[in-house]
Structure 1
Amino acid sequence: MTMLDSLFGLIPAASTGQQWVARDLQLVNWGGYDGHHRVRLASTATLLSGGSGSGKSTLMDAYIALLMPHTTPFNGASNGGVVGRPRGKDQRNILSYARGKVDESRTEDGTRQRVLRGDGHDTWSAIAMTWADQSGTQLTAVRAWYVPSAARTLEDVVAVRATVDGPFDARDLEGPAAQRLARHAVTEAGLTCYDTDREFTARLHSTLGIGAAGDGSKAVGLLGRIQAGQQITTVDALYKAMVLEDPDTFATADAVVEQFDKLTGTRDQMITARQQVKALEPIREHRAALEAARERVGVIEAVGSFDDGTSPAALWRHGRRLGLLRAVEADLHGRHQQAGQTSRETAARVTAARAELDGVKETLWASGGDRLATAQRELTAVRARQEEVVRARGRLDEVLAVLGATVDDEAGLAALAEQARAALADPGAKERAFAGLFDAMSLSKEAKADLAALEVERAAVLRRHDNIPGDLHAARAALAQAAGLTPEELPFVAELVEVRTEHEPWRDAFNLALGGFATLLLIDAAHVRAFRAAIDAVPTARRIRFQGVPTGLRDDVGVDAHTLPGRLDYRQGPFTGWLRSELAERFAYVCVDTPGELAQHAKALTRSGQVSEGNRGAHGGQGRANVLGFTNARRLAHLDEQVARAQRRVAQAEEQVEAARAGHDRYEVVRRAHEALVATSWDQVDVAGVEAERTRWEQVVQDVTAGNPEVTRLQERAAELEVTIQTLTEDLGRTKGLAQSLGDDWSATTDAVDTAQRALDDAQDAGTALAPDQQAYLDTLLAGTDDVGTDDAGTVAPAADPVEALAAFDAVVARAGDLLRADRQAAQQTVAAARDALRRTFETFVERWPDPNLGTDPDASYPDFVRILTELEVSGLHELEAEWRKSLLRLSGNDLTDLHNALARSVREIKERIRPVNDILADLPFSDDDHRLRIDARDTQSAVVARFRKELRDLREVLSTQATDAERERRYLRMAKVVDRIRRSSPDYADLVDVRRHVRLSAEKVDLDGNHVALYDHIGEKSGGESQELVAFIVGAALRYQLGDAGAARPRYAPVFLDEALIKADARFTGRAVGAWRGLGFQLVIGAPNDKFSALEPHVDLKYVVLKDASGRSRTKPVAGLPGTEGPA
């Protein structure tokens, strides 16, 4: 493409399109630019250079404040690490620029800003920029702010947004500023005001041609990023951030989610309908139970009471009982006659049996039967006595086994009994048995107590790291609590020292030598007075000695290794310095091996604990418990040995207790044996004597029966007749009694029949009738009368046992009142339970699905809920299920297909979007005239995305087929998992839906024939100059695209501000980057530090140096360029 150098910069020769360039930038009271300043801009490239903090970025920020939204931060190039909201209190903002903030200083009330203006009085600020096209048309945009002295936020400021078709001098706002920038005053100055930023930016975008199809926000956002010089590391990130907008897949995914949520709503409605049907299904059953129970209560109240002779209940009872009584009357009459006949027959049989027995006895006595009877009687008695003697002998043998003795005759038993009496008379035997057991148990108890005490002591020692006795610990704890101190602030001397390992044999000697000093309680001398006052009322069982000592003394007191202090280790703490000094002064005992060496030293100590101080000395006390040390391993070992010995003592004592208990038990057994032996006589255990007597009587019986066999027969016949007479006599008595009882019962039953008939007649005369439902109810309730049958006419028929039937009926009727009351109560409870169940069901329904038109009364609201249930069962639920199926098919047929297609289509569109940018780049020499830059795209779809798209296809096919409810529910859950992944809140959302991530973009250097020469992927891999040129080409082409001029010969909006840009290369590469921007038709305004001036100076047409004086005020000074460009105007 042939380029021409015109007033408006390098433009294509064939271009006749409109282009706006910035003519000048005016500042009034903006940052360090106090008063009015005008900066004229070259139509090609302008350089603003200066030292750090001179005000270059302030000029750049003025352009941001004028053209860009409030979300664009100030000073983005220099302060990329700032935090907080853009233009907030932690960043540069309108207020700080309007007041000209210099710095901050600390005061008594906090921090205070030092400003150039507006400190205690109102101020104002304004920014204006004028653009012009090649036809001479001009447009000026103005932003101004009136800042009251009390303003703290932007809401406290009067803001002006205005434009004018032509030039404008910002100093003309001084008059309106005196009126607080009132709308009418600004309008009178020739400006057109806008109420909102939206209206203001829309005017600028439409007039200046910023953005394609009226969307200038993306172009302005890109201009802001370009100005800030934000770091982008890859070509891929650069292109995606600056060229590609959000793909259609975002909207398509949102549509799928929305449709699925509607499907979920239909499903929820269906589930709700099912839940409502399930919740209301029991009400019909409850209602039926309620009505049945109410009917039963009505019948119970109608039948009345059995005590009321004229009630239906009494009529039913009389009718039933009359039939039963007549059956009993007939049964008793027949049984009474039969009993009389049986009685007479039995009496005749008894008389005949007695006559026969008398004849048998006369014959028997005549034949010697009296001697046989005597022998048999004696034999029976002897056999019974023999059993008792055998059992007694067995008990005697058990006693003899305990005593280890045997007895064969009466004399031996008498001798043993005499010995037993003597043993029982000995009073000392029992005392000895009890004394042995008591002594053994006492020893066991004492041993267990000693063991428990040692275990308690060991547990207490285990919790500590010292050897101080427990009573001293308890006393110290009580004093420390009273004084508000911790035990660690009140150490014992013994807790602060430890015998060195190599001098362990001297521990007992050191323990004796230190004596009471070891248990001295140390306290900070500063606390002594308060400590004494606090503990005065505290009682302790163990007396505590304490001493206030200075703390924090230097721990550098020298001690001799041959003396007691030199053979100790000291625990570091506030008391260590004093303690070392005290021990060195008072207990500097030289450790000697023999008593003969004691006199050689002023103070000396032997291994046995004897001390000498001149002519004085001390000895003894060995065996005293050790208290020294801030470790207790030695004491724990000693306690373990004591515990082991105590455990052995306990085991031995238990063995002694068991032996003593066994001895005591033996004494009791022997004593009981002696008592049994004394109470036994020989005739009680003479088994041989009893056996001899039985043999003698058996011989007598044999002698009598062997000589006369007829005696035996007669004797047997007499025995049989005696049994027969006894049996018949008993039967006769029972029969007579039965006949008398049946006669009495028959008479009483006859009277009862008459009484029942009269009662039945009275009830019928009173007009009482028994309804069929009442009869059925009473028959069912009093089921115990079912043994009484009824014939076809309904009259009572006699059962198999009328008496039992009558008794059963009377038993049931006797409790009929209780049965009626119980049944009435049960029916009433059923009514209450059914009403309560209905109420709970209604309340639960209304609570889960509120409806102001539904009540919860079991009777009044029942029809409404039955209607709801019927509607749900008949139509509502089916319609929802049909809608559910329809929605499921619709989601599969449309939305999932659209999403799948959109994913593929958007990738193609990204690749197609590269074409216009590549068309722009194809006409621009890159690196040299023989090469060009080209953007290349390749697919980078991951396995996760591939599986997701496959799941979309599979799910779409599955959803299009018929399914059962269970399968449909499973499909819904499967679909829910897919849809949840494309929700904006999903962690997979960007990877799956943002198709920009499915494509990797890179740049490549090609020759004029399009052949590949070099790859540009990571910008950071190139040198500073190469990266500048690469970014300029790509970003410039992207800006042309965003401005909507990709197909035009040059951009309609030319200005591009670059803050801290093009500073990473030498003049040659910088020139190529500037040439790239200008070749794309852009007007450059570059801010750079002084040290980069030489690299940029050859490639710009207008140069300024930004200066700042000692007061913090900035100004611009032109170096070369247009005439009349001095800073302050």
Structure 2
Amino acid sequence: MDEQPVDAGARNQMKLRLIQLFNWGTFQGLLRVSIAEPGYLFVGPSGSGKSTILDAHAALTTPPRWVDFNVAAREAEKRAKDRNLMTYVRGAWAQQTTDAGEYAAQFLRTDTTWTAIAETYRDDHGHVVVLAQVLWVRGKSTSAADVKRLYLVLERELDLQELQFFPAHDFDSRRFKFDMPDAFVQADFSPYQERFRRLLGIDSERALRLLHKTQAAKNLGDLNDFMRDFMLEPPETFKLVDKLVDQFAELNEAHRAVVSARQQIETLRPAQEEAQQLEKARLARNELDELSAGVDKYKEQTRQRLLERAIAEQQTDLAGMTHEATRLDGLEKNEFTKLRSLQDQRSGMGGSLLEDLSAQLEAAETTRKKRFAKRESVRAACAILDWAPPDNALWFTQRRDAARAALLDADAKQEAQTEKTYSLRKQSEDAADRFRSVVVEIKALERQRSNIPARMLAVRERLADALGIREECLPFAGELIEVRQDEASWRGAIERVLHGFAQSLLVEDRHYAQVAAYLNETSVGERVVYLRMTPLRSEPRSPGENSLILKLSFADMPQADWVRNELKAHFDHDCAETVQAFRAAPRAITREGQIKHNSTRHEKNDRHRVDDPSRWVLGFDNAAKLSHFKQEAHRLSQQIEDLRQALEAARAAESSERERLKAHAQLANTEWDEVDVNSVIESIEALQSRIEREKATRPDLAKLDDEIKLQESSHERARRIHSDHLGRVRAQMLKIQALQRETEKLRPELLRVELTPFQQSGLDERYARYLPDMTWETVDNATTQVVRGINADEREASQHILQLEHGIERRLADFLRQWPAESDGLDARMASAPDFFAKLTRLQADGLPRHEQRFLDLLRDQSAQSLAMLQTQLDQERKAIRDRMALVNESLETTPFGPGTHLVIETQDKLQEDVLTFKRTLRNALSNMLTTHAQEAEQRFEVISTLVRRLASQETADRNWRALVLDVRQHVDFVARELNEFGKEVEVYRSGAGKSGGQRQKLAATCLAAALRYQLGGQERTLPRFSTVFLDEAFDKADAEFTAMAMNIFKTFGFQMIIATPLKSVMTLEPFIGGAGFVHIKDRKTSSVIPIDYDVTGQRLILSSAPDDDGEEAANA
């Protein structure tokens, strides 16, 4: 290797001088490796522990979130991570098969243990920085999460044996203050890295990530990703956007204030308009109130006026009628005088005798009619009794006495017949009730297979509907139990003992509260028993061999097990075949239905037959019960028909008996002279003969009688006319009196009060509208219509007022709900409306203009400035990338990449639609910055708001978009061009794809060296202050020429190289180091490092002979 010129900056470089490991991985105990200043080489076979040493460096210098142990060995295979802090602290050395056939890691340290690692850095001025970590784990845990550690930074030399105090005091971190007070000790990596980066001259955390990537770099991968992640710092645009988002909050607040003020005005202005309508509506209602107040006065005064007019009209008519009555009275008297003269003349001619005889004849005719009617009644009664009608006094008297005798026995016979009718009617009603009940049961049984009575099923249905629970979730216990077919002879007895339990509702615990509340608040009209299905505290004992439980089957439902346990706990009755077995059992039943509940309580309930299927409630199938009820329904329908016919016959007999009773009463209460028609007929005939003889002796009376009849007719006509007219006169007088009485009913207090002009005109118009031709009699009707109209108008006005008030209060409530901070102690009631309207006036005059001006000022000044800075920064960041690449290229120009060639990294702009759209949006947002037009300002704000919302969004798509448009590094592509000495392109590299393994490693080494120089050297240092670079198994695919060229690049950039490599690469790497160690592992589980002498002059390792795979000869060197 050519002699490197001494740079003044080399004396300031911090270089690794010592590595110490204690119980790290397969290195048991303490290992100290002194590192030569020019560089160091760890050689040895695969699996000896080279990467273990380099992983200790990674643990010391790399943030935990980036650490990837043994990555060089895994890079090509893409295997999962196989090493972690726990494997290093425990000393994992192999995977072996356990007795259970599983793979398990084998550890050197299986109990509580501790580990320490340290690196000592020194510059030529004697400045020392030591980075150290202490790790420990308690017990036998193998979880990486149980590894605890402390980070240490010291500015003096450190021997790891100084840390023995820490495990001696049970890993008490407080002991560092006493035993190592000069150490900077932290439990977190962040303050630890800030401390050592400052001491070692590492400017950014990004450099630590690059150093870790370099440790295992064999392939560059994508050049763009590498340049963006490791060569370029995140742009300042992200901070500017964060500032923009923060500032936008103030602008957004100002905009919200404008919007809020506008919305407040829009909320209160309609309320103010409604308030004006409200005033008009209240005035209209007051006018209606005034009219309503005058209605009674107007009605009375109008009635008085109309009554006075009617009385005057009626009195005029009465005067005319009185004169006519006088005239008609004279005519009647004249006709009566003529009639009286004719009657006097007839009396003088013997007419009085004939009048007496005629009177007697008339009386006899009346008697005949009465007796004839009475005789017909008697004959009808006799017909009902099947008796011949009586035609003489003796026969009549016999029949009357027989009727009276029959009446004496009538009450007893009628009572017996009534009792029979009642009995039949009661039987018919009972049968009908039973039939209806049976029909209900039939319908319920046809609707579902349950044997539970219909009334209980209806209760469950109502309960389930009210609670929104399916009926299947509320079964009756009987629906889950059935007597086995082969035990059918015991069904009646089992039904009897389980009758109550079977009709109990089963309620799961999750529905218990709902069911309990519903039944407590609701009268269901039935006795309801429900069982809360809580788990039994202990498992019930198994039933005996004769237990009724063994004669049962259970439905395949979730509640079945609970029901079975309940039966075991409470109904484990023996089925006793004999009375002796019944007496001997603690609990038992017999086929006859006798139940023994315990040693003292026994029960036999024979109110129903033990084998009556209508009483059965158990079973999954109700076919037997349905058949029984259908038979019962048929029997009852036949019984109802028989009873109907019997009842009709009884009612007919009862009606007949009542008719006979009436006939007996008719005869019993009649005397013979009331029905003796023949005797009165004889009297009539005698009187008629007498009258004819008297008339024959007085022939002139007939002519006079004719004249009298004519005069009687004339008098009767005159009398009737006069009488009718007097009736009309009296009616007219009554009418006038009635009108006068009506005037007396008028209320003086209403007549004395004068109406207002508005009342007079308003009521005149309304009365005329409803009844133009009004009389005193129709005043009330007209008033009713007027009052109804006023009331309707008042209701409409009141409703309108109420609507307006509610509308105003609703808007005030909306205002308070949306802006509670603006309430100022006001509430949403009409009493507060004036204060709200005063607030509206202030908003219109001052609040809104002030908020609009502040919004425009912020929009013009603050946001525009931030957006302009962001736009400028995007351009500056793009220029910065070009400038940074120029610095990198300056270093690359002096570094040979191939024979007579060097690399140049160029940038090319990417045309990305999202980026272009984003920049256009920025320009739009910055346009019309000085506008004062509200609409344009709103449009510009909307553009900014949309942009800022997306920039601030946490949605994955928006975050990706934000990263794209703000990260200027993604706006360019990087291309590495290999140029010859004449600047002519030899080859282009976009990544390592398609290149040989050696080419990829050379490209990776070149770019990594340039990136490290850029990240660690900065722009002010000629050489990086921190110069140590670790490479794990580097150049294993490159030839000697490529390897030497890559190492020259790192040396040119001033780096101290610490390399782990297989033996085959040693000769090529010897010139670039100052020392080496051979890493050896014994028994596959204990590693060690054997120093190898180095010939500084010859720049080569001094080996006694080439080491074999196990390193034995190297160990002897």
TM-score (norm 1): 0.54
Residue 170 of structure 2 corresponds to which residue in structure 1?
180
1:901-952 Cα distance to aligned partner (Å, 9 max, x none):
2222211111111222223223323324x44333222333445534543443
Aligned length: 697
Q: Distance in 1 between matches of 2:864 and 2:1072?
A: 61
Q: Does 1:251 align with 2:224?
A: no
1:49-108 Cα distance to aligned partner (Å, 9 max, x none):
344433222211111111221112232333459999x9xxx7633233212234567879
Unaligned stretches of 5+ residues in structure 1: 306-311, 340-535, 539-739, 789-800
1:38 to 1:277, Cα distance in 2 relative to 1, 3 A = same
Contact 2:154–2:184 under 8 Å retained in 1:
no
Residue 277 of structure 1 corresponds to which residue in structure 2?
265
After superposition, the CA RMSD in angstroms is 4.9
Residue 409 of structure 2 corresponds to which residue in structure 1?
none
Residue 43 of structure 2 corresponds to which residue in structure 1?
49
1:806 to 1:116, Cα distance in 2 relative to 1, 3 A = same
Residue 1117 of structure 1 corresponds to which residue in structure 2?
1090
Tell me the CA shift for residue 127 of structure 1.
0.5
Q: Distance in 2 between matches of 1:877 and 1:217?
A: 51
Tell me the CA shift for residue 1019 of structure 1.
3.0
Contact 2:18–2:34 under 8 Å retained in 1:
yes
Residue 236 of structure 1 corresponds to which residue in structure 2?
224
Residue 74 of structure 1 corresponds to which residue in structure 2?
68
Tell me the CA shift for residue 876 of structure 1.
2.6
1:320 to 1:49, Cα distance in 2 relative to 1, 3 A = farther
Contact 1:160–1:193 under 8 Å retained in 2:
no
Residue 867 of structure 2 corresponds to which residue in structure 1?
896
Contact 1:267–1:884 under 8 Å retained in 2:
yes
Aligned with 1:1043: secondary structure? Answer: helix
Residue 886 of structure 2 corresponds to which residue in structure 1?
915
Q: Distance in 1 between matches of 2:102 and 2:728?
A: 124
1:239-258 Cα distance to aligned partner (Å, 9 max, x none):
22211111122233344444
Worse-superposed segment, 12-21 or 1048-1057: 12-21
Letter in 2 for 1:199: P
Contact 1:1115–1:1127 under 8 Å retained in 2:
no
Residue 1003 of structure 1 corresponds to which residue in structure 2?
976
Equivalent of 2:298, from 316, 330, 335?
316
Equivalent of 2:199, from 189, 200, 207?
207
Equivalent of 2:1055, from 1082, 1085, 1092?
1082
Residue 858 of structure 1 corresponds to which residue in structure 2?
829
1:1066-1086 Cα distance to aligned partner (Å, 9 max, x none):
111111111111121101112
Q: Distance in 2 between matches of 1:887 and 1:78?
A: 59
1:776 to 1:1108, Cα distance in 2 relative to 1, 3 A = farther
Which structure 2 residues correspond to residues 272-351 of structure 1 after superposition, within 5 A?
A: 272-284=260-272, 313-322=295-304
Tell me the CA shift for residue 296 of structure 1.
8.2
Contact 1:319–1:760 under 8 Å retained in 2:
no
1:973 to 1:138, Cα distance in 2 relative to 1, 3 A = closer
Q: Distance in 2 between matches of 1:886 and 1:759?
A: 80
1:325 to 1:870, Cα distance in 2 relative to 1, 3 A = farther
Q: Does 1:814 align with 2:784?
A: yes
1:316 to 1:1104, Cα distance in 2 relative to 1, 3 A = same
Equivalent of 1:224, from 204, 212, 215?
212
Aligned with 1:54: secondary structure? Answer: coil
Letter in 1 for 2:999: E
Tell me the CA shift for residue 48 of structure 1.
2.2
1:17 to 1:48, Cα distance in 2 relative to 1, 3 A = closer
1:337 to 1:42, Cα distance in 2 relative to 1, 3 A = farther
Residue 434 of structure 1 corresponds to which residue in structure 2?
none
Aligned with 1:1050: secondary structure? Answer: coil
Contact 2:165–2:179 under 8 Å retained in 1:
no
Contact 2:295–2:787 under 8 Å retained in 1:
no
Letter in 1 for 2:964: D
Letter in 2 for 1:269: A
1:1005 to 1:803, Cα distance in 2 relative to 1, 3 A = closer
Tell me the CA shift for residue 38 of structure 1.
1.5
Tell me the CA shift for residue 139 of structure 1.
2.5
Identity of aligned residues (%): 26
Residue 85 of structure 2 corresponds to which residue in structure 1?
94
Tell me the CA shift for residue 785 of structure 1.
1.8
Aligned with 1:988: secondary structure? Answer: helix
Q: Distance in 1 between matches of 2:228 and 2:164?
A: 46
Contact 1:324–1:802 under 8 Å retained in 2:
no
1:970 to 1:60, Cα distance in 2 relative to 1, 3 A = same
1:804 to 1:1008, Cα distance in 2 relative to 1, 3 A = same
Worse-superposed segment, 852-861 or 1036-1045: 852-861
Contact 1:1004–1:1014 under 8 Å retained in 2:
yes
Aligned with 1:1061: secondary structure? Answer: coil
Which structure 2 residues correspond to residues 755-904 of structure 1 after superposition, within 5 A?
A: 759=746, 761-763=748-750, 772=756, 776=758, 780=762, 784-786=766-768, 803-804=773-774, 810-815=780-785, 818=788, 833=803, 836-838=806-808, 840-851=810-821, 856=827, 858-859=829-830, 861-862=832-833, 865-890=836-861, 893-904=864-875
Worse-superposed segment, 951-960 or 109-118: 109-118
Which structure 2 residues correspond to residues 369-448 of structure 1 after superposition, within 5 A?
A: none
Residue 961 of structure 2 corresponds to which residue in structure 1?
988
Tell me the CA shift for residue 130 of structure 1.
0.9
Q: Distance in 2 between matches of 1:921 and 1:742?
A: 146
1:603-662 Cα distance to aligned partner (Å, 9 max, x none):
xxxxxxxxxxxxxxxxxxxxxxxxxxxxxxxxxxxxxxxxxxxxxxxxxxxxxxxxxxxx
Aligned with 1:1053: secondary structure? Answer: coil
Q: Does 1:934 align with 2:925?
A: no
Tell me the CA shift for residue 128 of structure 1.
0.8
1:475-527 Cα distance to aligned partner (Å, 9 max, x none):
xxxxxxxxxxxxxxxxxxxxxxxxxxxxxxxxxxxxxxxxxxxxxxxxxxxxx
1:781 to 1:862, Cα distance in 2 relative to 1, 3 A = farther
1:769 to 1:1030, Cα distance in 2 relative to 1, 3 A = same
Q: Does 1:139 align with 2:106?
A: no
Contact 1:142–1:161 under 8 Å retained in 2:
yes
Worse-superposed segment, 1033-1042 or 803-812: 803-812
Tell me the CA shift for residue 123 of structure 1.
1.0
Unaligned stretches of 5+ residues in structure 2: 322-552, 556-726, 1096-1100, 1104-1113
Residue 27 of structure 2 corresponds to which residue in structure 1?
33
Worse-superposed segment, 255-264 or 245-254: 255-264
Contact 2:897–2:903 under 8 Å retained in 1:
yes
Tell me the CA shift for residue 854 of structure 1.
5.3
1:179 to 1:914, Cα distance in 2 relative to 1, 3 A = same
Contact 2:219–2:1000 under 8 Å retained in 1:
no
Equivalent of 1:18, from 6, 12, 26?
12
Which structure 2 residues correspond to residues 482-521 of structure 1 after superposition, within 5 A?
A: none
1:1004-1037 Cα distance to aligned partner (Å, 9 max, x none):
3344565555433333343333333333232212
Residue 1023 of structure 1 corresponds to which residue in structure 2?
996
Aligned with 1:919: secondary structure? Answer: helix
Residue 607 of structure 1 corresponds to which residue in structure 2?
none
1:104 to 1:832, Cα distance in 2 relative to 1, 3 A = farther
Tell me the CA shift for residue 878 of structure 1.
3.1
Q: Distance in 2 between matches of 1:108 and 1:880?
A: 80
Q: Distance in 2 between matches of 1:968 and 1:914?
A: 42
Contact 1:45–1:1102 under 8 Å retained in 2:
yes
Aligned with 1:1086: secondary structure? Answer: strand
Q: Distance in 1 between matches of 2:772 and 2:320?
A: 17
Q: Distance in 1 between matches of 2:760 and 2:888?
A: 102
Q: Distance in 1 between matches of 2:554 and 2:184?
A: 87
Residue 1025 of structure 2 corresponds to which residue in structure 1?
1052
Contact 1:1070–1:1096 under 8 Å retained in 2:
yes
Letter in 2 for 1:934: V
1:1010 to 1:249, Cα distance in 2 relative to 1, 3 A = same
